[in-house]
Amino acid sequence: CKSTHNNGNSSNVHHHHQQQQQPFFLPPKNKKYPKKTLILDLDETLVHSSFKPFPFKPDISLHIVVDTRTHNVNVLKRPFVNEFLSRMALFYELVIFTASVAPYANPLLDILDNHKVISHRLFRQHCVNTSGLYIKNLRKVGRDMKNMIILDNNPISYVFNKENGVPIPTWKSDRNDKELLKIMPFLEYLSKVDDVRNIVKQVVKNNSIDYNEVNKLIQSDNSSSSGSNKNYNKHRGDGSYNNNS
């Protein structure tokens, strides 16, 4: 198990034994990365995986070993996931934080992250197990809370840090899904604000994004920046923010 994408057994063992002594999961941010950090959930946010075969060809097939047992895992990629990752890497340091185990998540991410834009990986071992629920405590990540967002389909995952949580509908197989496209302009907007928590409180209501409110913020930003954000329309997916989801 490891917390970053760097391979090497010796470093993995070192990290595992030193983790209790380190205050944070991640090393200090490399200055080459943007100021803000986007924490991304994996399953049902970016992909959907199953031990059972799908009625159609999976996007990715894995053969993994967990606790000495070999498993075949079939994986579907959420529509536009690769475009989403490439685009968000222009605005954020990208970190995967999954409640899944590393022997599954690592080989999947090795394939999914084909442009190598994900900086770090955090797994189940980094979650807080509360009554069988795996909670992601963002205060242990090692980034300024005002500059960090988590995108996750399960609000329970970030219950300790609701003011940093951005929800996205659960995805399993809908090939017409456009949620990743739809949310990109909002995340681009968040990358420029002083404190993401103030905006999240304003637009996230009942574990859902109020896209009407988001649209007002972006329109206001467009006006004040004299059209410097013309790329927004290109990435809206459904062409508007009129549909709450």
Residues labelled as active-site residues: 41, 43
Integer Cα distance of 114 and 105 in angstroms: 14
Do 164 and 148 meet the contact criterion of CB atoms below 8 Å apart?
yes
User: What is the 8-class DSSP label of residue 225?
Assistant: T
* Token digits of residue 87: 């685009």
d(CA 113, CA 8): 19
Residues 6+ apart with CB under 8 A from 178: 79, 80, 237, 238
What are the distances in angstroms from CA 223 to CA 146, 191, 228?
25, 17, 9
User: Does residue 196 contact residue 148 with C-beta atoms inside 8 Å?
Assistant: yes
For residues 26 and 139, the answer to whether their CB atoms sit within 8 Å is: no
Radius of gyration of the chain (CA): 18
Nearest to 142 by CA among 86, 189, 97: 97
